[in-house]
Amino acid sequence: MHRAASRFVAAAISRPLPACRIAVASQRHLSTGMRIPVIAASRPHARKTQRPIPSSVRTIFIQTENTPNPDALKFLPNHRIIPPDMSTPFIEYLNPRATISPPHPSPLAAKLMNIDGITSVFYGADFITVTKAGDANWAHVRPEIFALITEAITSGETIVNVAERKGDESAAVEEDSLAYNENDSEVVGMIKELLETRIRPAIQEDGGDIEFRGFEDGQVLLKLRGACRTCDSSTVTLKNGIEGMLMHYIEEVQGVKQILDEEEEISLQEFAKFEEKLKQQQKAAEAS
């Protein structure tokens, strides 16, 4: 028998979330934005004089925020990224092919992924998170990211397009995994409500998002996206933050499990093999 949803008292909703953002809050700071004037082209003058920019000239102010992931930066262009009529709360591009393929091709994402060292692009409702390779330098790639985002917004080009997959029209429609579903059990509904109201906002501030994959045998199946997907502190976020809160307020929850894609599982396996090899080399060196 399901417990009544009234177990969510006001105190539960007001309780602060010990998520990744809070656990590593000291790493975050708001950096200086970049104000770039947009000036219409004019005829060259024989005499070069520096003229002040009229106050009526349109400007764009892009802020950047560090995230707990040192290889991910969050860009806030003060402009809507995902159209409000789209049901999906985020879009993630993990390879160049995804930027030109259904269901959501994006010219801007394609250009960003073409920058040497950029590994993924993540769109939130009003922000863009760009993730780089570990050996890439932000000092080299950041100016180009600024330029591409500025060009896309000031030119008025569509940031996200909608394209249907051939032979599978329904695949182009992506729903929010935390959205209400009348077929959900009461426990699942409570899990979704807590994830939506208390956990998702904190993760979005870190330049990411969260996806609900199911509830099986007391385990909540989740997938972290954006900056949180490759963050070293993602395990802390899941166990100390999300799992602790869900287990505290919903007694049916026994734990949280992160769902990994096939590529992510392969990467973890390769990393584990590499670590084991280093340990063996260290033991051999000590023995000699």
Q: CATH number, domain at 82?
A: 3.30.1370.70
Would the pLDDT of 266 be above 90? Answer: no
Q: Which domain holds residue 118?
A: 63-155
Same domain, 130 and 203: no
Same domain, 127 and 187: no
91 by DSSP, 3-state: which? strand
CATH number for the domain harbouring residue 261: 3.30.300.130
Number of domains in the chain: 2
Query: What is the DSSP track for 34-50?
Result: EEEE-----PPPSS---
Give the chain's mean pLDDT.
79
HSE, CB side, 13 Å, CA atoms: give it for residue 119: 15
Tell me the pLDDT tens digit for each residue of 6-22. Answer: 444 344 444 444 445 53
Query: Which is more confidently placed, 286 or 186?
Result: 186
Same domain, 78 and 121: yes
Q: 14-18, 150-154, 242-246, 260-264: which has the minimum mean pLDDT?
A: 14-18
Single pTM value for the model: 0.71
- Mean pLDDT over 222-230 rounds to 90
The answer to the question of residue 24 being in a domain is no
Going by DSSP bridges, is the β-strand pair 255-258/219-226 parallel, antiparallel, or unpaired? Answer: parallel
Would the pLDDT of 132 be above 50? Answer: yes
The answer to the question of residue 166 being in a domain is no
Cβ pair 92, 226 in contact under 8 A = yes
Q: In what order do the strands lie in the sheet with 208-216?
A: 208-216, 219-226, 255-258
Same domain, 185 and 234: yes
- Mean pLDDT over 155-181 rounds to 73
Instruction: Name the pLDDT band for 95 (thresholds 50, 70, 90).
Output: very high
CA distance 262 to 267: 9
Residue ending a domain, choose from 155, 183, 208:
155
Q: 40-44, 119-123, 219-223, 225-229: which has the minimum mean pLDDT?
A: 40-44
Would the pLDDT of 287 be above 70? Answer: yes
